[in-house]
Structure 1
Amino acid sequence: MAIVDISKLAPEERHDHAAAIGKPIIDARHVAVTFKVENGEVDAVKDVSFQLYRGETIAVVGESGSGKSVTARAVMGLLTKRASVSKASSIAYDGQNVLKFSDRQRRALRGNRISMIFQEPMSSLNPVYTIGAQIIEAIRVHQKMSRQQATDRTLELLRQVQIPDPESRFNQYPHQLSGGQRQRVMIAMALANNPDVLIADEPTTALDVTVQAQILNLIRDLQKTLGMAVILITHDLTVVRQFSDYVYVMQSGEVKEHNTTAELFRSPQHPYTRHLLASEPSGKANPMPAGSATILEGRDVRVSFMLKAGGFFKPRLKELVAVDSLNLKLHRHETLGLVGESGSGKTTFGQALIRLQAVEGGEIFFDGQSIETRSREQMRPLRSRMQVVFQDPFSSLNPRMSVGQIIEEGLIVNGLGSTRSERLDRVREALASAGLPTNILARFPHEFSGGQRQRIAIARAVALEPEFILLDEPTSALDLSVQAQIIDLLRKLQDEKGLSYLFISHDLKVVRALCHRVVVMQHGRIVEEGPVEDVLSHPKTAYTERLVRAAFEVAA
């Protein structure tokens, strides 16, 4: 096998530049960005070069902290005051170096010729203005239009991005829309002035697989219609393969390799690229012991909420049935996946089964004991035996407590460990079980990466030596390679400690790699259930088939 010189895998110009028609619309050369920090400087981006041609999509991939978003913000001129761009850097838009533009020239370019969609639309949209007002503002800043003309253009844009009933949505606020609808509004705003370049920074990370597919297909359709060039920043390689023409792979602020999408996936050269491609969730759950007893059971479990509808003076109450008389059985040493789109009731059902959510009907049994009528005090003796790991570890870990205090707190509350020394031994053992060093007890949550924080959350759960853990979307916000590490960790802990998991997720790739059985939910009901391979390979309902296609083909 020929030895590859990895230093030559990312030349300044693209490998396919000889075949390109015309000049690049964006030609970035030797981009370097440094941030001033408390104890010196951090080189966030080091000598990055890339080219983007009209009408095509390039993907920039890499793990968190690789410099993808900083590179995009350098193009947009959206870096903080603590950032400085190297004098050797050049970012040419249509032949002009935008780094030499005045602030006024950059503002005229931004949102007009070059637009950006951000990862989290809720933090990008202003909560005190209506959707219509925000899009009108984006139009009138760059175009001389009357308010009526801008309103007509806004409604046209909302129809273009397939927002249902745009006339009604026009006067709604961001919190009144779903995540997918908010992301469509962001796209409408980005397209308001028919830009030449659209930068999409992780536009689908927090969305369900079916909504993700709709958003990506929408961007592709609009690109074809409007002739835009797109820079797609993502860590989802299925998305990259399906939607991009050319790929740049970044690590630690540098481009390690770039090539056409087909060639990069066919023959990755750099070890890091191969590592990323190998990090897609794989494998399957280890076999369960024969004749495992039932640890958790729900019979006809029902949960509903009363919602206010109508106006201020004539309010009326409307019942929303979130969990509609459902049955579920989880065996010891089993991982049961609970999947469905946002709003399907899966998290409400999971929380109801461990009495974190009040139930209004049905029976729940934990290890043979009926628990649906138990008070909070009566549930306390069982709490150490059933634990939860939430989706966002940063909001579930107390930022004012050290790692040692966070994990020890559960031991103190549940009366485990007679002395502090004994409790600290259990804390260190839990950290080691979660694949973390034991010398981090005095450090705080903000000092760790997302994957490390999720390991701390798992260590906190494991320290109490539970028999059952509810895992609510524990890998959805993590990079692929970190996701693979967490899956391996959960498998290892299950084997070592005989744990049972109820795994709530919308990521069917992770479900396939981790679960023994899967339950598919829609509108508070179970539409399909069975062994994970049977359900995902041969779905019996159109809804499950749509979820599977969206997850594995991104073409719903």
Structure 2
Amino acid sequence: MTQNLIPELRLDAALHTDEPLLDVRHAGVNFKTEHGQVSAVQDISFQLYRGETIAIVGESGSGKSVTARLVMGLLSKRATVSPDTRVKFRGEDILKYSRDKRRLLRGSRISMIFQEPMSSLNPLYSIGTQIAEAIRAHRRVSKSEARKQAIALLAEVRIPDPELRIDQYPHQLSGGQRQRVMIAMALANNPDLLIADEPTTALDVTVQAQILNLLRDLQQKHGMAVVLITHDLTVVRRFSDYVYVMQRGLLQEHNTTAALFEAPQHPYTRHLLGSEPRGRAKPLSDDQPILLEGKNVRVSFGLRSGGFFRPVFHDLVAVDGLSLDLRRHETLGLVGESGSGKTTFGQALTRLISNEGGEIFFDKQPIHNKDRDGMRPLRSRMQVVFQDPFSSLNPRMTVGQIIGEGLVVNNIGANSAERLDRVRAALRDAGLPDNVTNRFPHEFSGGQRQRIAIARAIALEPEFLLLDEPTSALDLSVQAQIIDLLRKLQDEKGLSYLFISHDLKVVRALCHRVIVMQRGQIVEQGSVEEVLSNPKTEYTQRLVRAAFEIA
């Protein structure tokens, strides 16, 4: 690491005549753990000017989010801030503020969008109540006026039917819609500084572009500045003015966005820029038999609005008479915007939820009328890997128990020793050491937890995997590792994948065919090269532009 790559001041500081809105110098944060002190952030300095966006990038564990929480004053009690740390906001060192003064600053002048909206939104209150609370905590407005402003905010962040949605609860919204609610809450009081911690990780590419364009519009309107924490380099290149690269708590390089992408100096920066999904799926022979088939599958949900005494019910058709077929050894991509019905379709095909109409066949066997007990003999042959490995892995169970649970339930293995051998083999197949069976999920990184989830699925030696956004929350370099792992497992074990994703770069690298969904319907399908290189519908063209083109 050469010292001239990490000067204390920005390389373009001479071009700015005004003082920085946010000026952080020599930031250091340590955490007390049972194994001693851990340095999460070491001697970090950065500046942010009004009306601009800086990006802080790096892999999981690099210290990006800890840096953001230092600015917000949201570090845990186990954290110790270095005495040399200075955090100046509008010329004042806010680390010297009292707790009450710091609290008043949060949510009014400085706001933050967190990565996981389901953990940040209260499941007991409607989204309208939560947005109104954010408004009334800092401004004297009536409940009716706060509700009116909340509806306007939902409309501004592109939530459909905001008048109906405002009385819904977080669990009734899709992941992308929940994230938009979080953004609406953060923008409620027109802050001077918005810290966005992976704000678009759960969003599809078109909504991602809409949200980031919205943030840019608000910047221009109010002079708001943004700290963007992300691992998506396409987003960084498109929307940031200046980039800071972090690794293991250290700042490795910083420069203007154009200069850094054109000529990265540090090996780690070059590694990040070279980690985007690459390669293509191996050609599939035409004589492969169909493993999973759906014919005219339909799923709908009832929505409720109105008051307690006069409720109004609406039917939302999530999957509207759709059909697909998946061949053995094939990877079929299912793409579309958040709320398009792709996850619902995938769960209906695997009988995780019930379908109202249509037929579903697995290995030529009808399964659309089977109940839970009827599906049990087939569960070992069809497995699921979910989007968020931390919420899908039981935190109270060891890795060995998590992977071995399916073996016990399905009576696989003659005894505990044989099952342990299969658990260890699954860990090795998933690219993990086989001596971690006594460790717990929280002891692993996000990428390692996703490998554990994959190991749990392949331990049963299935023929089919439903992969529901398995790489969306992962860093680019970890994404590339998981893609390589899935390719390797498919080659070695002859697996078939139904791959649900909004990341078209990953779909292009992994899938043979792709189905594009919009509002519960299929709008286009074909080979990956055909659909992504020459999209026929305006909707698919919009998805492809948002995913691959740098504005």
Note if 1:234 corresponds to 2:230. yes
503-512 or 117-126, larger mean C-alpha shift = 117-126
Counterpart amino acid of residue 105 in structure 2:
L
Q: C-alpha distance in 2, partners of 1:330/1:165?
A: 35
Query: For residue 27 of structure 1, what is the aligned residue in structure 2?
Result: 23
Give secondary structure in 2 for the equivalent of 1:401. coil
Note if 1:362 corresponds to 2:362. no
Q: How far is the alpha carbon of 1:300 from its aligned partner?
A: 2.2
CA contact (8 A) 1:114 1:196 kept: yes
Equivalent position to 2:546, from 545, 550, 553: 550
Query: For residue 506 of structure 1, what is the aligned residue in structure 2?
Result: 502
Give me the CA root mean square deviation: 2.7
Q: How far is the alpha carbon of 1:178 from its aligned partner?
A: 5.5
Give secondary structure in 1 for the equivalent of 2:323. strand
Q: How far is the alpha carbon of 1:104 from its aligned partner?
A: 3.6
Note if 1:531 corresponds to 2:508. no
Counterpart amino acid of residue 30 in structure 1:
H
Counterpart amino acid of residue 37 in structure 1:
T
Counterpart amino acid of residue 483 in structure 2:
I
Query: For residue 411 of structure 2, what is the aligned residue in structure 1?
Result: 415
166-175 or 5-14, larger mean C-alpha shift = 166-175
Give secondary structure in 2 for the equivalent of 1:84. strand
CA contact (8 A) 1:402 1:445 kept: yes
Query: For residue 436 of structure 1, what is the aligned residue in structure 2?
Result: 432
Report the TM-score when normalising by structure 1. 0.91
Q: How far is the alpha carbon of 1:129 from its aligned partner?
A: 5.4
CA contact (8 A) 2:174 2:339 kept: no
Q: How far is the alpha carbon of 1:377 from its aligned partner?
A: 3.7
Q: C-alpha distance in 2, partners of 1:366/1:471?
A: 17
Query: For residue 210 of structure 1, what is the aligned residue in structure 2?
Result: 206
Equivalent position to 2:299, from 296, 303, 313: 303
CA contact (8 A) 2:177 2:338 kept: no
Q: How far is the alpha carbon of 1:428 from its aligned partner?
A: 1.7
Give secondary structure in 1 for the equivalent of 2:19. coil
Query: For residue 103 of structure 1, what is the aligned residue in structure 2?
Result: 99
CA contact (8 A) 2:26 2:43 kept: yes
CA contact (8 A) 1:33 1:83 kept: yes
CA contact (8 A) 2:127 2:166 kept: yes
Q: C-alpha distance in 2, partners of 1:385/1:347?
A: 20
Q: How far is the alpha carbon of 1:46 from its aligned partner?
A: 0.5
Query: For residue 387 of structure 1, what is the aligned residue in structure 2?
Result: 383
Counterpart amino acid of residue 284 in structure 2:
M
Cα–Cα, structure 1 residues 402 and 176, in superposed 2: closer, same or farther, change >3 Å?
A: closer
Q: How far is the alpha carbon of 1:68 from its aligned partner?
A: 0.8
Give secondary structure in 2 for the equivalent of 1:548. helix
Which has the higher Rg, Structure 1 or Structure 2? 1
Counterpart amino acid of residue 497 in structure 2:
Y
156-165 or 23-32, larger mean C-alpha shift = 156-165
Cα–Cα, structure 1 residues 527 and 10, in superposed 2: closer, same or farther, change >3 Å?
A: same
CA contact (8 A) 2:393 2:402 kept: yes
Counterpart amino acid of residue 249 in structure 2:
G
Give secondary structure in 2 for the equivalent of 1:458. helix
Give runs of aligned pairs for residues 337-376 of structure 1, distance below 5 A.
Answer: 337-376=333-372
Cα–Cα, structure 1 residues 377 and 523, in superposed 2: closer, same or farther, change >3 Å?
A: same
Query: For residue 60 of structure 2, what is the aligned residue in structure 1?
Result: 64
Q: C-alpha distance in 2, partners of 1:527/1:223?
A: 35
306-315 or 251-260, larger mean C-alpha shift = 306-315
Unpaired stretches in structure 1, ≥5 consecutive residues: none
Q: C-alpha distance in 2, partners of 1:551/1:7?
A: 35
CA contact (8 A) 2:123 2:171 kept: yes
Q: How far is the alpha carbon of 1:308 from its aligned partner?
A: 4.6
Give secondary structure in 2 for the equivalent of 1:232. strand
Query: For residue 80 of structure 2, what is the aligned residue in structure 1?
Result: 84
Report the TM-score when normalising by structure 2. 0.92
451-460 or 145-154, larger mean C-alpha shift = 145-154
Q: C-alpha distance in 2, partners of 1:416/1:198?
A: 52
Note if 1:119 corresponds to 2:115. yes
Q: C-alpha distance in 1, partners of 2:90/2:468?
A: 46
Query: For residue 482 of structure 1, what is the aligned residue in structure 2?
Result: 478
Q: How far is the alpha carbon of 1:261 from its aligned partner?
A: 0.4
Cα–Cα, structure 1 residues 543 and 439, in superposed 2: closer, same or farther, change >3 Å?
A: same
Q: How far is the alpha carbon of 1:62 from its aligned partner?
A: 1.0
CA contact (8 A) 2:176 2:338 kept: no
Query: For residue 279 of structure 1, what is the aligned residue in structure 2?
Result: 275
Query: For residue 491 of structure 1, what is the aligned residue in structure 2?
Result: 487
Q: How far is the alpha carbon of 1:279 from its aligned partner?
A: 1.4
Note if 1:16 corresponds to 2:5. no
490-499 or 381-390, larger mean C-alpha shift = 381-390
CA contact (8 A) 2:10 2:254 kept: yes
214-223 or 135-144, larger mean C-alpha shift = 135-144
236-245 or 279-288, larger mean C-alpha shift = 279-288
Counterpart amino acid of residue 47 in structure 1:
D
Q: How many pairs are equivalent?
A: 551
Aligned-pair identity (%): 73
Cα–Cα, structure 1 residues 311 and 380, in superposed 2: closer, same or farther, change >3 Å?
A: same
For each residue in 1:361-382, what CA deviation from the matched residue of structure 2 results, as whole angstroms up to 9, or x when unmatched? 3332222333333444443333
186-195 or 144-153, larger mean C-alpha shift = 144-153
Q: C-alpha distance in 2, partners of 1:512/1:268?
A: 26
Counterpart amino acid of residue 204 in structure 1:
T
